[in-house]
Structure 1
Amino acid sequence: MKTLETVQTQGRFFQHLQYKNEYTEESKECIILTAAQLMDKKTSENRPGMLLGKIQSGKTRTFIGVMGLAYDNGFDAVIILTQGTNALVKQTYARLEEEFAEQIAEDKLRVYDIMSMPERLRKYELSQKLAFIVKKETHNLDRLREALVDQYPSLSNKKILFIDDEADFASVAYEYKREQNITKMRVIASKINELRSRLQESAFLQVTATPYSLYLQPEDMTIHEGKVFEPIRPSFTELVPVHDQYIGGDMYFEKSQIDGHLASYLYHEVDEKELQVMKKMDGRRVKMDKLLTQKNIANIRRAIVNFIVGSCIRRWQQRQLGTKQQKYSFIIHTERGKNAHAWQGELIRSFEDLLMEGANEETDVFQTLVQQSYQDLIRSVKTLNKAPAPSYLQVYQEVKLALEEEYIVSSIVNSEKDVNEMLDYSGQLHLRAPMNIFIGGQILDRGVTIHNLIGFFYGRNPKSFQQDTVLQHSRMYGARLLEDLAVTRFYTTQRIYSIMERIHEFDAGLRHAFERGGHECGVVFIQKDLNSTILPCSPNKILLSSLTMLKPHKRLLPVGFQTGYKTHIQKTVRYIDRLIENEVKNALYHEEGAYLIPVEKAKEMITFVHKTFEMEEGREFNQDEYHSVLDYLSTEAKSGAYVWLITRTRREIQRFKKDGTFENSPDTPGKGKGELAIARRQAKDHPALIMLRQEGKKEHGWRGAEFWWPVVVAQSETTPTVFAKKNDKISKTAAK
């Protein structure tokens, strides 16, 4: 059995990489363990080794380290399966040429793009270590098979390692054909499988940040112990260590909830109507000579000015510190269509022209825009002590100079031709000027590296969201200096932000399970069917926009609402008062101010609370979801379907927090005495429902009507669960 001690780590390939990359002990251990298990365990495309990292967290650097160890330990060739774009092939090729430059110069290694190999390789070339870069595309795989089996049959007798980069993107093993009612292997996976059957000895490693299609795919569509699907699991999983400069979803969706934290300034909400403006040219909606003042494009205007001002702040700081002034980038990704991109390109260029004109003339409108942007960005800049904070006048002069000297370049990137023309020598998007705006669609999210990204305007708004795709769209993740993060802003609608927040929670929950080894036990996926019965369901039938991740002590509460008018809801509120009073009086059991009541009564409270709320755009309070979650959590307990009820009255919470965002913490921890602390202590076998009676005063942003605010708290003994809200399309599929 191969172990850390028995793997040859002193070979020329790995030693050179280690010297070049200065691997940390944690990274080195991950690389060696991965290589050891590839050599020790039987792997295939159905039972692959798995290298699991976060988006833009150093996965490529890690698998190249595994390549080096593989070459030093008897592997003759490595086949890297890349996502299906020429840009990615070029980027991967450039990266391998750079990392293995010494071995290539000494004729120890040859790197080939499978589609542009020399006509006839000589024995001398075939005797070296080989690396083939292959797009996950049928013609590329046909060419690979031809090379390995027909043209150079000696290669089929060599020891070969397959590395499937971004494995979730095109290589999931099975797909469901509804019209045939069968599950069959995908074309790409089938071709890889057929090719590997022709090889004498091979290993298979998949590298991804979004592994759910691999871990959660059901095998034979069977249910384990009544509710957990048996997934197709990798043979082993190694987690890529996260480096200290990594910025991920926890920054955008967790730390952002902390008042005054740098992260709390990152997100800017975009009105849904503004995305419609971005779709196509409409002279009735957009007056090109009024772009700097028009209200219905306020957020895209703010995003552009923030990007310019943010870049100027950073470049000023770098100059003050005597360091190299960097170039910065901003992405607009709202549509897939080229017509939309052309319109957005015209819009951005018109913004540039008007801003340049305003800078030259120093108009009041221009000065106001720069001042508003400065006030927005300087709040987060001042949360750090790492770099000096410039004054408004200093920034104003920087912005004026940037516009007058044409520091800004906007480019449309919506085809492989565009990307290839814009790549630098290393296969990364070339930053032509100090400030670069990229307008495009899916081509921008397929692994192409974009340096120094400090602005992301995102509006891809499909009816359903796929987890893997949405996470790959998250270009704001990756290695980021905190000083750059301080001037970074993320623009999207509340609906999209909420969905991305759920996806992050799902991602974090599953990664935590992997870290603890919990993925060996499966993850519970549940859903209500057409008969309102909660049943297990297949992960591949879940829409990510309908997910709720349940875990011990998870809170579930409506956020972002206004109450109905007092005359409309007063009667309903009085009914809830009587209902709660009655349940407290007749509780099955009570302890520490918590009352055990039937789940049906808790659901009734939710039903009537729902009648008193008006949700803001992009926010939702789905009573069916709350009912189903309470049903599931309460029936998890062996002692019956009950819920702990905890109530508080005469609360006077503000509708908005100091930073202008909606209040999301009506429940107080209270150092052990608050209702949330009590709920978490009592919620062991049964969930808790906290009901908070608010005064709803007008001076606090409400309508002067009293109301109840519910908070559901999952019990500590619950199994990590993904609950999918009822969806007609899904339910019909499940019913079949």
Structure 2
Amino acid sequence: MFDSELAYFRSMITRDYGEDIAQGNGLPEGAISKIVRCGPFQHLGEPAINAIIRELESSFTVTQKRGAVITKDHRPWLAAKRPQIDFYYWNRLRKYYLETGTLPSHVLATLDSDTDEILDQCGNPRDENYGAVRGMVMGNVQSGKTTNYSALICKAADAGYRVIILLAGITNSLRSQTQERLDETFIGKVSMFGAVAQQSLPIQNYAATRRIPSYGTTRVADFSSGKDGIYFGLSGHQEPMIFITKKNKGILERLALWIEKQGETGGYDLPLLLIDDEADNASINTASDPKRTTAINGVIRQILSRFPRSSYVGYTATPFANIFIDPETTEEMETDDLFPGNFIKALDPPTNYAGSRRIFREGGDLREGMVRIIDDYRLLLPLKHKSGDTVADIPDSLRHAIRVFCITRAIRVLQGKGKAHCSMMINVSRFNAIQDQILGQVYEYLAEIKDAIAVHASLPPDEISDDVMDDLEASFTKEFDDSGLDWHGLLGVLNEGVQSIEVRTVNMRGGKLDYSLHKFDGLHVIAIGGLALSRGLTLEGLTVSYLLRNATASDTLMQMARWFGYRTGYEEYCRLYLPQMSFDHYEFVDEATEELRSEIKRMQAARRTPRDFGLKVRQSPLAIRVTAANKMRTAEKLKIAQDYSARHIEGFALPNDPVIGNNQRNAADKFLSALGDPTEKGKGFIRWSASGRDVLKLLREFRFVDHPDLSVISDTSLFEDYVQDRVTDELAEWDVVLPMRQSGDSVQFAGQDINLRSRDQGTVQRGTYRVYGSKNRVADPGDAQIGLSDAQKVAAEAAYQAEIYKKERAACSVRERPMMLVHVFGAKLRDDRVDCDDELKLDTPIVTLSFCMPETGKPAKERTYQVNAVYRQQLELYVAEEDDDSQAMMEAQDAE
């Protein structure tokens, strides 16, 4: 609302504090307020001045850390060559970001340093000896990967990369969205072939001279040579040339064929930068036919091979890509031409990013206010359904979510942001036919709301008598009663907020979200879809998300999280509605992916290589599930190497069988009794020493179910084999601990008086008792620290503060020897019993085990397992389901 005033103050702040900003230091307290209040715009009034101050503070107080990087045989070059490089395109973009406030200044400073590092890793394009470079950049879902590679493209063009290819997803809408972004940040005009007049874009105003790169694709056209395409060769222009194409076999083959013809004019001699956005989109989780993705990757490799100087950079938020986990062996993984053997860079999101850490992690500041667990969908919209099923009605929770979206639209109007984009996402089915039925139901209900508001909202509050208006007020009270907003005050803007809302399906049949056509009035939309909503596509101004999907393939589930992103000024009004099962799985995926990000920091400190990281990915719990689950379709044998270094493995799932439960309790009692007198009795625990072979013997007497680590695959488990491989050396001697309450009723177990713990949040499903329901826990949060010395606790805290490990893994990592915890507890099921289909049959006290494993110096051994029917059934839960859009995309590729 105050663009010119904000631009003036940004330039003033940059002039006075530019050096502090560049160095990552914060501004002095009150500095922004002082500059604004001493400025020339006091006539605007106090409310406007306060709004300007808040806007500037949001820009200049956001911080971002530099991400870690691991490399192999890197030779730095950028620092030495920088004085010789004219950074025209980057300086233009930097000024545009800074002066428009598009990026907070600290974030811009980090973007500058991160992309310098990536460009340095890519190699000097003017050095004919640098050859081929393969790298990867790991971001977060909806965190700004496009911004990062836009800056990289600008710097690469300045440094001397003459050919730039950007692979932008698998749909036309995503490709055109990306082309539009690059028009705005790099090309500088609306990219069109044969346009009579060039339509310049604002970035042109941030450079003294006018330069425009060449382009081989446009907003409306993917690559095509000949008619309506490009007619000149790679070497026939002065500026760098960019192609923004779909990851489509037919289109890429056309591009590869066209490139083959460029050798006659010296096109091969030009250095190439190829950026693969959503690099894991060709992974085994997102396509049922791996041969198709192999064909696409084959064309990518073919294009790269044509250029003696080429750099491939894959961008991904979910690093479980086929380059890591699809090859059968480690050797095949490392020799794959797209394997990032030269570098892997992890990007840290800025502090204003609303992502998994803030939404799903315990203690996340958005978790309580944003997330709503729903369970009324089972009859009307069951997670498992068929394309031909009838949707008779929508759940009350979805009606409530639609009302909440209408209310958030009114809130945005009240904030003066009524013409900003605003979206709601409904992702409840993988079938287009079901999405169409939902469209009709949602359209009808939204029409009821619009009609009720048009008639009643302008009346005095005490004269309103309407059921729909009552429901709206009830939804407002339920969600926003503590927000400081007033329902009566909101009534005056409700009509303006809701009348512009549209309902659309977004899938391969159509329904493009054309935000660019609504720049001035904003697109206000309820988007209903499946795969097309689940990868790459940005839902602008997303405030309400409603998710009912049976997807447990982890990268697929994370890509559905379109609600991740930046919600400055309205994040407290955003809402996410999803089942408990999905919420719990998001918690697990958050933990697993964060562990991998931390792994890059650890490897950077230890000077390890991308190959080491690739092995960690292949041996991570998430990758095991993803790979093994996919191969359940075709194989009865699995080749797996699992790494349990610095992890707490918990036996959270037990058979709901009293005979098995009694046997396991007796086995633990006998085991502890045989160890003799304890070595230590502390507050809340008793500790013994035991040999690794005795621990293995007890482990083999326990039966765990629905557990990827402890369940028996054929005649052993992954964890058992891991211990067996080390039982004669680093896992020869163990601590054995029986944790308990520090006070309470005392019972006898293994000849010891113990204060029994209680677990009262269990569930029973399909014969499996889960101690904490869908949470994969049995231990208390502090159990992993039992037995640590003061020095070890200090070391663990240091590792946690440095974000090398999460708190529990940090405690495991500093142990000198492993610890087995024998958990003895009284139990009952959750009071609501929503996730239970049976009663708890185990006699209390119940006994289970968990294992705190130290760092290992021994690599995991790869084994081939003959998979039994039980393990197969467990893993099939993690197989990604195929959307209707998946088949449509395959057909579109064939048509190309």
Q: Are residue 342 (structure 1) and residue 453 (structure 2) matched?
A: no
- Rate the CA distance shift 1:652–1:159 in 2: closer, same or farther, 3 A: closer
Q: Are residue 455 (structure 1) and residue 544 (structure 2) matched?
A: yes
Structure 1 stretch displaced more, 353-362 or 644-653: 353-362
- Rate the CA distance shift 1:587–1:526 in 2: closer, same or farther, 3 A: farther
Letter in 2 for 1:374: F
- Give 1:153 deviation, angstroms: 3.4
Q: Are residue 377 (structure 1) and residue 479 (structure 2) matched?
A: yes
Deviations, residues 605-644 of structure 1 (Å, cap 9, x unaligned):
854x98xxxxxxxx98997279836525644453448672
Q: Are residue 410 (structure 1) and residue 497 (structure 2) matched?
A: no
Letter in 2 for 1:599: V
1:11-160 alignment runs, 5 A limit: 11-22=87-98, 24-40=108-124, 42=130, 44=132, 48-100=134-186, 101=188, 102=204, 106-113=210-217, 114-115=223-224, 118=229, 120-121=231-232, 126-150=237-261, 153-160=265-272
Match of 1:390 among 466, 482, 485: 485
Query: Would the aligned equivalents of 2:407 and 2:494 in 1 still touch at CA under 8 Å?
Result: no
Instruction: Give the aligned partner of residue 689 of structure 1.
Output: 821
Q: Are residue 469 (structure 1) and residue 556 (structure 2) matched?
A: yes
Instruction: Give the aligned partner of residue 6 of structure 1.
Output: 80
Match of 2:598 among 509, 512, 515: 512
Query: Would the aligned equivalents of 2:688 and 2:736 in 1 still touch at CA under 8 Å?
Result: yes
Instruction: Give the aligned partner of residue 738 of structure 2.
Output: 646
Deviations, residues 626-669 of structure 1 (Å, cap 9, x unaligned):
9836525644453448672414334456549xxx9989877545
For 2:372 and 2:773, locate their aligned partners in 1 and report how far apart those are by CA, in whole Å.
10
Q: Are residue 521 (structure 1) and residue 616 (structure 2) matched?
A: no
Instruction: Give the aligned partner of residue 444 of structure 1.
Output: 533
Q: Are residue 163 (structure 1) and residue 289 (structure 2) matched?
A: no
Letter in 2 for 1:237: I
- Give 1:349 deviation, angstroms: 1.4
For 2:599 and 2:782, locate their aligned partners in 1 and report how far apart those are by CA, in whole Å.
30
Letter in 1 for 2:213: L
- Give 1:475 deviation, angstroms: 0.9
For 1:448 and 1:524, locate their aligned partners in 2 and report how far apart those are by CA, in whole Å.
29
- Give 1:373 deviation, angstroms: 2.8
Q: Are residue 249 (structure 1) and residue 360 (structure 2) matched?
A: no
Deviations, residues 151-209 of structure 1 (Å, cap 9, x unaligned):
7834333222222222222389xx9999xxxx999222222333333335332222222
- Give 1:714 deviation, angstroms: 2.6
Letter in 1 for 2:79: E
Query: Would the aligned equivalents of 1:667 and 1:676 in 2 still touch at CA under 8 Å?
Result: no
Letter in 2 for 1:258: G
Q: Secondary structure at the match of 1:425?
A: helix
- Rate the CA distance shift 1:199–1:123 in 2: closer, same or farther, 3 A: closer
Deviations, residues 241-293 of structure 1 (Å, cap 9, x unaligned):
42222122222331xx339864465142344444338866867x73x5xx6xx
For 2:404 and 2:289, locate their aligned partners in 1 and report how far apart those are by CA, in whole Å.
47
For 1:112 and 1:85, locate their aligned partners in 2 and report how far apart those are by CA, in whole Å.
18
For 1:694 and 1:72, locate their aligned partners in 2 and report how far apart those are by CA, in whole Å.
67
- Give 1:372 deviation, angstroms: 4.5
- Rate the CA distance shift 1:712–1:372 in 2: closer, same or farther, 3 A: farther
Structure 1 stretch displaced more, 491-500 or 629-638: 629-638
Instruction: Give the aligned partner of residue 403 of structure 2.
Output: 305
For 1:661 and 1:698, locate their aligned partners in 2 and report how far apart those are by CA, in whole Å.
8
Q: Are residue 423 (structure 1) and residue 514 (structure 2) matched?
A: yes
Q: Secondary structure at the match of 2:600?
A: helix
Deviations, residues 552-605 of structure 1 (Å, cap 9, x unaligned):
24363648x9x98xxx95x87776665444333212774331235633565478
Q: Secondary structure at the match of 1:486?
A: helix
For 2:334 and 2:157, locate their aligned partners in 1 and report how far apart those are by CA, in whole Å.
38
Unaligned runs of 5+ in 2: 1-74, 99-106, 189-203, 218-222, 457-463, 633-637, 681-685, 741-754, 763-771, 794-807, 834-838, 877-896
Q: Are residue 728 (structure 1) and residue 872 (structure 2) matched?
A: yes
Q: Are residue 207 (structure 1) and residue 315 (structure 2) matched?
A: yes
Query: Would the aligned equivalents of 2:324 and 2:618 in 1 still touch at CA under 8 Å?
Result: no
Unaligned runs of 5+ in 1: 292-296, 383-387, 528-533, 611-618
Instruction: Give the aligned partner of residue 890 of structure 2.
Output: none
Query: Would the aligned equivalents of 1:345 and 1:439 in 2 still touch at CA under 8 Å?
Result: yes
- Give 1:343 deviation, angstroms: 0.3
- Give 1:442 deviation, angstroms: 1.5
Query: Would the aligned equivalents of 1:215 and 1:234 in 2 still touch at CA under 8 Å?
Result: no
- Give 1:324 deviation, angstroms: 6.2
- Give 1:109 deviation, angstroms: 1.6
- Rate the CA distance shift 1:109–1:177 in 2: closer, same or farther, 3 A: closer
Deviations, residues 109-148 of structure 1 (Å, cap 9, x unaligned):
2223123754533999623321122222233223323433
Match of 1:258 among 363, 369, 377: 363
Instruction: Give the aligned partner of residue 382 of structure 2.
Output: 276
For 1:301 and 1:476, locate their aligned partners in 2 and report how far apart those are by CA, in whole Å.
19
User: Higher strand proportion, which one?
Assistant: 1
Query: Would the aligned equivalents of 2:420 and 2:521 in 1 still touch at CA under 8 Å?
Result: no
For 2:328 and 2:784, locate their aligned partners in 1 and report how far apart those are by CA, in whole Å.
48
For 1:259 and 1:80, locate their aligned partners in 2 and report how far apart those are by CA, in whole Å.
35
Query: Would the aligned equivalents of 1:280 and 1:340 in 2 still touch at CA under 8 Å?
Result: yes
For 2:593 and 2:185, locate their aligned partners in 1 and report how far apart those are by CA, in whole Å.
31
For 1:643 and 1:475, locate their aligned partners in 2 and report how far apart those are by CA, in whole Å.
45
What is the number of residues matched between the two proteins? 666
Structure 1 stretch displaced more, 541-550 or 257-266: 541-550
Q: Secondary structure at the match of 2:302?
A: helix
Q: Secondary structure at the match of 1:418?
A: coil
- Rate the CA distance shift 1:313–1:713 in 2: closer, same or farther, 3 A: farther
Query: Would the aligned equivalents of 2:139 and 2:316 in 1 still touch at CA under 8 Å?
Result: yes
Instruction: Give the aligned partner of residue 583 of structure 1.
Output: 671
1:539-558 alignment runs, 5 A limit: 540-543=627-630, 550=644, 552-554=646-648, 556=650, 558=652
- Give 1:335 deviation, angstroms: 2.4
Query: Would the aligned equivalents of 2:142 and 2:565 in 1 still touch at CA under 8 Å?
Result: yes
Give the TM-score of the pair, scaled to structure 1: 0.75
Query: Would the aligned equivalents of 2:143 and 2:566 in 1 still touch at CA under 8 Å?
Result: yes
Instruction: Give the aligned partner of residue 221 of structure 1.
Output: 329
Structure 1 stretch displaced more, 439-448 or 713-722: 713-722
Query: Would the aligned equivalents of 1:669 and 1:676 in 2 still touch at CA under 8 Å?
Result: no
Query: Would the aligned equivalents of 2:76 and 2:121 in 1 still touch at CA under 8 Å?
Result: yes
Query: Would the aligned equivalents of 2:733 and 2:817 in 1 still touch at CA under 8 Å?
Result: no
- Rate the CA distance shift 1:196–1:389 in 2: closer, same or farther, 3 A: same
For 1:14 and 1:363, locate their aligned partners in 2 and report how far apart those are by CA, in whole Å.
59
- Rate the CA distance shift 1:369–1:604 in 2: closer, same or farther, 3 A: farther
For 1:21 and 1:415, locate their aligned partners in 2 and report how far apart those are by CA, in whole Å.
34
Query: Would the aligned equivalents of 2:282 and 2:321 in 1 still touch at CA under 8 Å?
Result: no
Instruction: Give the aligned partner of residue 580 of structure 2.
Output: 494
Q: Are residue 235 (structure 1) and residue 342 (structure 2) matched?
A: yes
Query: Would the aligned equivalents of 2:429 and 2:548 in 1 still touch at CA under 8 Å?
Result: yes
- Rate the CA distance shift 1:273–1:687 in 2: closer, same or farther, 3 A: farther
Letter in 1 for 2:360: F
Query: Would the aligned equivalents of 1:177 and 1:184 in 2 still touch at CA under 8 Å?
Result: yes
- Rate the CA distance shift 1:156–1:32 in 2: closer, same or farther, 3 A: same
- Rate the CA distance shift 1:124–1:692 in 2: closer, same or farther, 3 A: closer
Give the TM-score of the pair, scaled to structure 2: 0.63
Structure 1 stretch displaced more, 119-128 or 645-654: 119-128
For 1:342 and 1:196, locate their aligned partners in 2 and report how far apart those are by CA, in whole Å.
42
Taking only aligned residues, the RMSD between alpha carbons, in angstroms, comes to: 5.0
- Rate the CA distance shift 1:123–1:525 in 2: closer, same or farther, 3 A: closer
Identity %: 17
Query: Would the aligned equivalents of 2:420 and 2:522 in 1 still touch at CA under 8 Å?
Result: no
- Rate the CA distance shift 1:674–1:275 in 2: closer, same or farther, 3 A: farther
- Give 1:331 deviation, angstroms: 0.9
